[in-house]
Amino acid sequence: MSEAFLRDFARYCPLANATDRHVVIYRNGHPVFHADFRRDIALARQALAGLETVLLADRPTVALYEPDVYAFTVWLLAAWSLGMMVALMGDDLPATRKALALPWIGREHPANAISNWHAATRTSRVLRVNSVHPGLTLFTSGSTGKPTPVEKTLAQARAESQMLEAAFGALLTPDTRYVSSVPHPHMYGLTFFILWPLLFARPCVAERLCYPEDLERLPAADYLFVTSPTFLKHLTDASPGLAPHTRWRLAISAGSPLAAEIAASSATFLQAPLIEIYGSTETGAAAYRRGTAPWQPLPGVRFSLEAATSRLRIHSPALSVAERESGFLSGDLVRLDEQGGGLELLGRADRLVKIGEKRISLTQIEQELVRLPEIDNARIVPLQHEQEGGRLVLGAAAILTPVGEARKRNLGKARFDRFLRAALRDQIEAVALPRRWRYVTTLPTNDMGKSTHDGLGRLFAPALPHAFCLAQEQDASIGRARLQLRCAPNLVWFDGHFPDLPVLPGVVQIDWAAHFARLHFGLDLQSAPITRMSGLKFQHLIRPNDAPCLDLIWRPGKQELEFAYTLAEIPCSRGTLILRKV
């Protein structure tokens, strides 16, 4: 019977003694009791027993994606009780399913209708689980955009929950309900929102909080809030009313760094202690802090410093047996106090770049930027120049505050860019001052609040080719310039135009002609806009990586700009732009 598994899984934990009337979860406001829970697990086991599983590293493995928290938990425990390893998936998009050749359970499975499970009878097959075997495969969402599998045993998952209970259990009551605003198939949500309450016999609320206003509709009870900086920021911005007779015993934030002001205002708003968690998918939760206090290791965790690189080594009961020996070398740069406890995070090791032989911390630049009254949030992206031997330059994607918006309106973008560079000059090496600036209303992030490298990189796709002026002559009546262009393959204009045959659009060629004429002849297109075009001809395609020549002839008397693009003397396009007479 699956009770045997539950007992084994929950050994040393209160769940083992849970009564039939113990509430496991609240779905749509209604309690699901432990007896129902056990029955549903048994039914899910029945469905899984007939499944042809795939052996992955000698273990039968299934992929699980199920947005419903209750159904997710049932599937998870049922699969574990059959000795299966479960790969937790963040979505079940066709591409994801194709990439992972495993039997998928959850939403897509024919037996997913939970109402049917309730109607069916119990099974009675006994299956004990050896919790040393891998029980779980998680995929780190990572900042590189490439998912990497991380394996966990049930023993590790249990050790982590025990650490959390030891650290924070005293703040909670047996009836405290866990409610979450973060996705449950990731390490953070899974541990804090599903496994911890499950093992310590506290109920959770199945419905994920998506909007600050959802807080207004919670039934009267005591709550623990599993959340992220992104949600807390929205929460303090929106400041909804709190539902009557709800009491927040503890709020927990993880996923990305929490700004001190957001931490303070959220704690005040919820009238609850707000704990920030430091950890990773590989190590589980490792340290915690309240407000701006120094990071403290969770009970049982020990830190050491890899002297050569200043990287943090984590020793934790939640690591695998093999890793516990040496500890897990994290990618974070830290300072430790003498006792080896208090931890100061200095940024990611992989967020260090070298520019002109200088080591530059991208995290430090971001921190300096958000200190400015003009900047609300910012991400720094290293960008390699397209031209040969080009230097590494930094791009800044920033969300402006109202102060910043106003100043940008006054100065115009170019001067505002320089204003920000000047504001950073005392703190940041000149070579590390961001060169490319993008002002956005949101930073591209995944739902864990982490910026994605690909999403950020796309913001900086160049709109202009690299250009070099080969020759230029000017007298009062005529100006000529000959420019050598290089069309980088990641030019924004090649994107989707056309998917299978990227070509440079004609309208872009006209825009570039106007742009370079402005640069070389000082055309003022504000007061003398283009009114007409004549003799337009597009004869030969310009493709990614092409290096066309652009010839410009400017006749100020006639207000006419002639342009011609050629590729190794082959005419590509030509035409004349006629500006309004001033």
Give yes or no for residue 473 binding other proteins (CB under 8 A). yes
Smallest distance from other proteins to CB 565, Å: 17
- Nearest of 384, 381, 389, 392 to residue 356 by alpha carbon: 392
Smallest distance from other proteins to CB 476, Å: 8
* Distance, CA of 136 to CA of 126 (rounded, Å): 21
Distance, C-alpha 106 to centroid of its chain: 24
Q: For CA atoms 44, 49, 54, 60, give the dihedral sign.
A: positive
Do β-strands 274-280 and 246-253 pair in parallel, antiparallel, or remain unpaired? Answer: parallel
Residue 412 vs 499, nearer CB to other proteins: 412
Residues in contact with other proteins, shown as a per-residue x/- string from 445 to 464 under the rule CB under 8 A: -------------------x
Residue 278 vs 516, nearer CB to other proteins: 516
- Which stretch, 18-26, 199-207, 209-217, 470-478, contacts other proteins (CB under 8 A)? 470-478
Residue 313 vs 486, nearer CB to other proteins: 486
Give yes or no for residue 477 binding other proteins (CB under 8 A). no
User: Helices 2-9 and 69-81 meet at what angle, rounded to 10?
Assistant: 100
Residue 407 vs 450, nearer CB to other proteins: 407
Smallest distance from other proteins to CB 553, Å: 15
Give yes or no for residue 376 binding other proteins (CB under 8 A). no
Residue 317 vs 479, nearer CB to other proteins: 479
List the one residue from 106, 520, 563, 579 that touches other proteins (CB under 8 A).
520
Residue 522 vs 571, nearer CB to other proteins: 522
- Residues near 113 by beta carbon (within 8 Å), at least 6 away in sequence: none
Residues in contact with other proteins, shown as a per-residue x/- string from 154 to 183 under the rule CB under 8 A: ------------------------------
Smallest distance from other proteins to CB 442, Å: 21
What DSSP letter does each residue of 354-368 carry, written as one string? Answer: EETTEEEEHHHHHHH
Q: What residues between 481 and 510 interact with other proteins by CB under 8 A?
A: 483
List the one residue from 118, 217, 290, 413 that touches other proteins (CB under 8 A).
413
Give yes or no for residue 407 binding other proteins (CB under 8 A). no
List the one residue from 436, 453, 458, 543 that touches other proteins (CB under 8 A).
436
- Nearest of 182, 5, 171 to residue 76 by alpha carbon: 5
Residue 268 vs 387, nearer CB to other proteins: 387
- Which stretch, 274-282, 289-297, 361-369, 520-528, contacts other proteins (CB under 8 A)? 520-528
- Residues near 390 by beta carbon (within 8 Å), at least 6 away in sequence: 384
Q: Which amino acid is at 335?
A: R
State the SS3 of 379-426.
Answer: EEEEEECCCCCCCEEEEEEEEECHHHHHHHHHHCHHHHHHHHHHHHCC
* Distance, CA of 174 to CA of 119 (rounded, Å): 30
List the one residue from 150, 242, 259, 469 that touches other proteins (CB under 8 A).
469
Residue 47 vs 353, nearer CB to other proteins: 353
* Distance, CA of 386 to CA of 468 (rounded, Å): 13
List the one residue from 101, 308, 414, 501 that touches other proteins (CB under 8 A).
414
- Which stretch, 31-39, 49-57, 222-230, 434-442, contacts other proteins (CB under 8 A)? 434-442
Residues in contact with other proteins, shown as a per-residue x/- string from 29 to 58 under the rule CB under 8 A: ------------------------------
CA angle at 460 for the pair 405 and 382, rounded to the nearest 5°: 105
List the one residue from 247, 518, 540, 543 that touches other proteins (CB under 8 A).
518
* Distance, CA of 215 to CA of 246 (rounded, Å): 9
- Residues near 60 by beta carbon (within 8 Å), at least 6 away in sequence: 53, 54, 82, 83, 84, 85
Smallest distance from other proteins to CB 391, Å: 5
Q: Do residues 273 and 170 make contact, with C-beta atoms less than 8 angstroms apart?
A: no
List the one residue from 260, 430, 533, 570 that touches other proteins (CB under 8 A).
430
How many other CB atoms sit within 10 Å of the CB of residue 573? Answer: 22
Smallest distance from other proteins to CB 412, Å: 8
Q: What residues between 345 and 364 interact with other proteins by CB under 8 A?
A: 355-356
List the one residue from 7, 466, 482, 540 that touches other proteins (CB under 8 A).
466
Q: Which amino acid is at 199?
A: L
Residue 284 vs 465, nearer CB to other proteins: 465
How many other CB atoms sit within 10 Å of the CB of residue 535? Answer: 8
* Residue bearing tokens 């993880």: 254
Give yes or no for residue 519 binding other proteins (CB under 8 A). yes
* Distance, CA of 186 to CA of 91 (rounded, Å): 11
Give yes or no for residue 422 binding other proteins (CB under 8 A). yes
Residue 64 vs 432, nearer CB to other proteins: 432
Give yes or no for residue 555 binding other proteins (CB under 8 A). no
SS3 486: strand
Site size with other proteins, rule: CB under 8 A: 36
How many other CB atoms sit within 10 Å of the CB of residue 255? Answer: 24
Give yes or no for residue 437 binding other proteins (CB under 8 A). yes
Smallest distance from other proteins to CB 507, Å: 20
Task: Verify cis geometry, omega within 30 degrees of 0, for the bond prior to 72.
Answer: no
Q: What are residue 549's DSSP bridge partners?
A: 484, 566
* Distance, CA of 473 to CA of 484 (rounded, Å): 15
- Which stretch, 111-119, 130-138, 203-211, 408-416, contacts other proteins (CB under 8 A)? 408-416
Helix ranges (H only) for 51-205 are: 69-81, 94-99, 114-119, 154-168, 187-189, 196-199
Smallest distance from other proteins to CB 387, Å: 7
Give yes or no for residue 480 binding other proteins (CB under 8 A). no
Residue 207 vs 405, nearer CB to other proteins: 405
Residues in touch with other proteins (CB under 8 A) = 355-356, 385, 387, 390-391, 413-415, 417-418, 421-422, 425, 430-431, 433, 435-437, 464, 466-469, 472-475, 479, 483, 518-522
